[in-house]
Amino acid sequence: MFICPSILSANPTKLGDELISVEKAGADSIHWDVMDGTFVDAITFGHHIVAAHRKLSHLRFDVHLMVENPDRHLENFAQAGADVIIVHAEACWHLHRTLGDIKSLGKKAGVALNPATSIDDIAYCADLLDMVTVMTVNPGRAGQIFIEFQLKKIVELKKNLPPSVEICVDGGINDATIANCLQCGATSFVSGSCIFKSTDYSEAIKKLRKSIFS
Ligand code: DX5
Ligand code: ZN
């Protein structure tokens, strides 16, 4: 099981140190929440920030593009050092083509589904998918409440996708919500505030792993 701290909740005045700290604390990948102020209200960071941090870490970089028409940015984020590029099904005019483009850039292709989006929207893209991210909050900010009803979507995905596809959950993941996600079939877990608002990142990550077995 993969724990992916979301850098969105890190201290923005020392992102590099934060990244090094979560890597030492046992993170499995780094989740970069890119927001454009259109698909979601907030604006965060672009590919220059991702590129500037690439050499600080050996971890997998997962870039979650909460942006309209992500096709314009794929090449930049690929060059910046993303390993997985996640686009929103709701933000793509031609999702199958976009996922193919990500693969052609030599990157893993992920698609995120908003809480209101059905798994039917990706049924005919399964051949191109490396990861599906189930949004367990509405995208746009950290620290929101986990939406229980999305657990059903994880179960449906588990049933319908090839086992090689990573099922990731994003939003409101903490000690109280992670176990149910795992039981339903999730294999990777994005966590922002639960990790970065703690005083000890290593303890926070250990606690997440342990909650799965309690
Ligand atoms: C939400 C982002 C999440 C967010 C998670 O729009 O995609 O990755 O950072 O933050 P928490 O874990 O605090 O819900
Ligand atoms: Zn995210």
Which is it for strands 108-113 and 131-135: parallel, antiparallel or unpaired?
A: parallel
Average pLDDT of the segment spanning 49-56? 98
Average pLDDT of the segment spanning 71-85? 98
Q: Taking all residues of the chain, what is their mean pLDDT, rounded to a whole number? A: 97
CB 176 within 8 Å of CB 118: no
How close is the Cα of 73 to the center of ligand 1, in Å? Answer: 21
CATH superfamily placement of domain 2-213:
Aldolase class I (3.20.20.70)
Among 190, 114, 128, 122, CA closest to 157: 122
Per-residue pLDDT band at 214 (split at 50, 70, 90): low
Catalytic residues: 33, 170
In this structure, the residues whose C-beta lies within 6 A of any atom of ligand 1 are 6, 8-9, 31, 33, 64, 137, 139-144, 170-173, 190-194
Place of tokens 């031609």: 94
* DSSP 3-state of 196: helix
How close is the Cα of 124 to the center of ligand 1, in Å? Answer: 27
* pLDDT above 80: residue 74: yes
CB 31 within 8 Å of CB 64: yes
Q: What is the pLDDT of residue 115?
A: 98
Domain ranges of the chain: 2-213
- Among 111, 146, 170, 208, the mutation site with the greatest number of ligand 1 atoms within 8 A of its Cβ is 170
Among 82, 43, 88, CA closest to 69: 88
Beta bridge partners of 135: 170
* pLDDT above 80: residue 212: no
Assigned token pair, 199:
């005083």
How close is the Cα of 172 to the center of ligand 2, in Å? Answer: 11
What is the b/e burial string over 27-58, where b = at least 16 CB atoms within 10 angstroms of the residue's CB? bbbbbbbbbbeebbeeebbebeebbebeeebe
Beta bridge partners of 2: 188
- Among 8, 147, 175, the mutation site with the greatest number of ligand 1 atoms within 8 A of its Cβ is 8
Query: What is the percent of the chain where pLDDT is above 90?
Result: 98
For ligand 1, atom 9, the nearest C-alpha belongs to 142
Taking only the tens place, the pLDDT of each residue in 165-185 is 999 999 999 999 999 999 999
* pLDDT above 90: residue 1: no
Euclidean distance between CA atoms 198 and 193, whole angstroms = 8
